[in-house]
Structures are given as C-alpha cells and as structure tokens.
Structure 1
Amino acid sequence: MSDTAVYLPGGTVSHRLKWNHSPNGAGSEALCGRTAWPGYWYGTGSQDEEEKAASLPLCVACAAIIRHRAGGVP
C-alpha cells in the first residue's frame, strides 16, 4: 500500500501519511511525525488538492524515511 501525499494550508512542502492513517484525521501522522492538529490535512478532497500535493516538494524528513525504506540513498 502506498503512502498518501498531503499538505497543510499555506504549506510549502508535501508530506506522506503513514499507510494506516487517514487524511481526514487531524491527529494522523505523516512519516516525519508531523500532524495537522488542530487543523486537517489537504490533498485528497478534490482533483486540485491532489495536484497541488503532487506538485509540492516532499518534506525532507519524509523523503529520508522513504529512502531508508527503499534500502538507503542511491
């Protein structure tokens, strides 16, 4: 199962939610440990949100965890 791309309002980077966390939960953690609390994640509510989440650069900490999962830095 893949991680979900999300972002915070006014955010300049996207995050990846843990596979078992819902983007509709304010307390849902991204791979880096960030939550949207007290707000909510954006990125799954409409086509525009999905495109924005995909266009933002990935959070450095989330990217490091994804690289680690894949076996390290190429």
Structure 2
Amino acid sequence: MSERVYMVDGSVAHELQWGCSPNNSAAPALCGRQPWPGDWYGTGSQTEYDRAAELPLCGGCQQILRHQAGGASP
C-alpha cells in the first residue's frame, strides 16, 4: 500500500513508492521527488491525513499510478 504525502509548504501531494516509509526523508515519491532537506507530512495526525487527501496529486505520480493500474499514460 502506498502512502499519500506532502511537503510542509507543498501545493501538491505525492504517492510514496511501495514499501517506503514516510518517516524516511530520503524515501522517493513515485515521480522521483524527495522532500530533502525537509520531511514528508501526511501520516502523523488526522489533520495531516486530511491535508494530504485535499491536495491535488502531482502529475508525475498520477501518470505512474494510472500506468500501474493498466491505463494509458499520455
């Protein structure tokens, strides 16, 4: 199961690669983005879960998720 995360001042959410921990600031999102030098947010409290859910998903992560689900990538 992947985790939906964001950076503290981020305007989009990202999906972490399968098996990556959101507690690891070196953990890459599906699109390759890392929060360095900061941390991932989105799994620490209900407020963080809600914020991650309300942010739009980044385009790169969307394309990879669509591809993994068997859909076409633009």
Q: Same fold (TM over 0.5)?
A: yes
Q: How many residues align?
A: 73
Aligned identity (percent) is 54
**Structure-2 residue corresponding to 1:72:** 71
Structure 2: state its 5+ residue gaps.
Answer: none
Deviation at 1:20, TM superposition (A): 1.0
TM (normalized to structure 1)? 0.93
Distance in 2 between residues matched to 1:15 and 1:3, nearest whole Å: 10
**Structure-2 residue corresponding to 1:55:** 54
**Structure-1 residue corresponding to 2:40:** 41
Task: Kindly report the root-mean-square deviation, in angstroms, between the aligned alpha carbons of the 2 structures.
Answer: 1.3
Q: Runs (4+) of structure 1 moved beyond 4 Å?
A: none
Deviation at 1:29, TM superposition (A): 0.3
TM (normalized to structure 2)? 0.93
Match status 1:10 vs 2:9:
yes
